[in-house]
Each structure stands twice: as structure tokens, then as C-alpha cells.
Structure 1
């Protein structure tokens, strides 16, 4: 089982008891504001998401980690790697992403988890490059992207929703883990 420990976090595969707290995170309009069309997701949709994330682990050897606080055992959200889909401007790329409950914002958890995920991508999975795709205006995610040392490669448009997107990348041979 793939796990990563950081000073404050455990990044791990998904457990059945993660469904309710992840559904609560997905039901928060503040959290979902910058994701897809901004719509919240219910329990059933969250269950489908987790199932899809676990399938990606099995098929690709990487996926989205559940992020648990070591101090309390609480599920804070997720971070991890996934294949970029549906963006013709970004073919065959692996993207890093994160989503945390709003009560966990501003404490450095997303940056800590994302940094550990980039190390995992380089050291354990041998990836050469990782991208991040964000909606223009998502300043909090842009801040994390800068902390990771990623640089903007291009702007594009979400083909489904029409939102402007920014694609950042990092060559993992230059990543300072």
C-alpha cells in the first residue's frame, strides 16, 4: 500500500470511512468554487469520484491520495497525480491537484502534501514532468504552484465550461525535493 508521511500529514489510499468527510468537503461551495463549473458534489457523486481515483491507482500506479492529519486522524482532503483528460492543448500529461476542506486552508497543508507528491512522482514513479491546470483567478492554488517551483507554460480554455485555464509545469529533474 502506497503511503507518504510528512511532518504533519499521512498521504494514503482511500478507505471506506473517507466517503462522508470527503462528501462534506465536496458539498462546500467555497471549496468547489474553482473546480469545473463550481457545482457542489453530493455523497453519490463523491463515491463515484473515489472509485474512479482508486481505479486510476490500479491502472496507472499513481492517483489521488487521501490526506489525513497525523495529529487528529481527520481527513483534510486530497492531493495527488492524475492523467489530464479533455484538454487537447495538454496531451499525455500527468497533473498534480489538491482539494482541502476550508477549515484546513491557510495552514500549509496543501503545499506540504503537494511537495511530497512531487517527490513521489520523481523518486517513486520516475515521471519526467508534472503539470498543474488551474482556472485563471484561483490565487490560492497559484500560490501553491509558485511554492512548488512550477512555471506557467501556457493559457488555454476549458473546452466544456469556457473558463480560461493556466497550465504550469515542472521538469522533475530540476525539482528540489
Structure 2
């Protein structure tokens, strides 16, 4: 199921047949260096993530999605929303194949995701946590309008940057806008 579209991207639910493409991303140390604990995922962890995502779609309507190129219908990344431990707000996550870096695709994805967060799922707030060394992601979230909230240790004691965006007041006044 397509969740949303942008000029160059289709964002859809992950499927079992995405395993090979998803695992290629999740097992790449460079792609995963700023995700979670920074370690690549095993095949079993990747399969579990697809299953967890499917459950999240049924329970919530959102989760981690496949990011597909409109041009050739190939999966070029993943992204969506995660609920980190001890955080009441959902967090933006995303990663792209190295061949797609530097093309503005992350910015395009995050802007589309924020629109879905506030207009489709009516979330009150969305956050992003970023390793300070990941300046590309800092630029992406700032360009999308998230504001810097603070820096400090995460649950593992690693220093991270917190960014956030609250639902725009205009949407709160309008109610349903889709």
C-alpha cells in the first residue's frame, strides 16, 4: 500500500518480498552507522523488523516504510516513524542506499513524512535524534523545519542532538485537512 508520494519517491508498506533489498541496506555498515546502535543488522533482525512494521501498520497505520524510486520502482531506502524507549513522541528514521546520497532524497522524504504525520495521522509532535557527526541529517531536519531542542546523552550514554516539530497551529484549528 502506498502511504504517500513525492516528486521522485513512492513510500509504501514494507512487504516480505522486500527482504533482499531491505537487508542489503540494513547489513551495510556505512548505511547503518548512525542508525540505532550503529551496527548492521543480521538477516534475522531484518526479517523481524519487517514483521514488526507490518504489525505497526495494522495497529497504528504507520511505522517503517519502503522508499521506492518512482523512476525504476526499485527500493532505494527505508524510513518512517519509530518509538524509542522512554520517549512519548515518535521519532523520524530514514536511510538510503549510498548511490542515492547527496541527491536531496532524504529532504524530500522527510518533508513528505512530516505532512503525513500531521495531516494523515494527526500526531501532536515528531522528533528526530541525530549523532552530532551526522551533519547531513542535521541539514535535512533543519531544512524540513524541525527545530533544535537540546543535546545530551541518549539511553546508551552517547551524546545526540534532539530536534522536534509540533503540529502546526493551523492544522489544530482546521481539524481534518486531508
Q: TM over 0.5: same fold?
A: yes
Match of 1:75 in 2: 75
Match of 2:53 in 1: 53
Match of 2:163 in 1: 168
User: What 5-or-longer segments of structure 2 have no aligned partner?
Assistant: 171-178
Alignment of 1:62-141 (within 5 A): 62-83=62-83, 85-87=84-86, 91-141=87-137
SS at match of 1:55: helix
SS at match of 2:46: helix
TM-score of the superposed pair, with normalisation by structure 2? 0.89
CA shift, 1:158, in A, is: 2.2
CA shift, 1:82, in A, is: 2.3
User: What 5-or-longer segments of structure 1 have no aligned partner?
Assistant: none
CA shift, 1:2, in A, is: 4.6
Match of 1:9 in 2: 9
Distance in structure 2 (CA, Å) of the matches to 1:168 and 1:131? 6
CA shift, 1:172, in A, is: 2.3
Match of 1:19 in 2: 19
Q: Aligned-residue CA RMSD in angstroms?
A: 1.8
Distance in structure 2 (CA, Å) of the matches to 1:30 and 1:63? 23
Does the CA contact (< 8 Å) of 1:79 and 1:110 recur in 2?
Answer: no
Does the CA contact (< 8 Å) of 1:20 and 1:43 recur in 2?
Answer: no
Distance in structure 1 (CA, Å) of the matches to 2:91 and 2:169? 17
TM-score of the superposed pair, with normalisation by structure 1? 0.89
CA shift, 1:55, in A, is: 1.5
Distance in structure 2 (CA, Å) of the matches to 1:35 and 1:97? 8
Does the CA contact (< 8 Å) of 1:131 and 1:170 recur in 2?
Answer: yes
Match of 2:141 in 1: 145
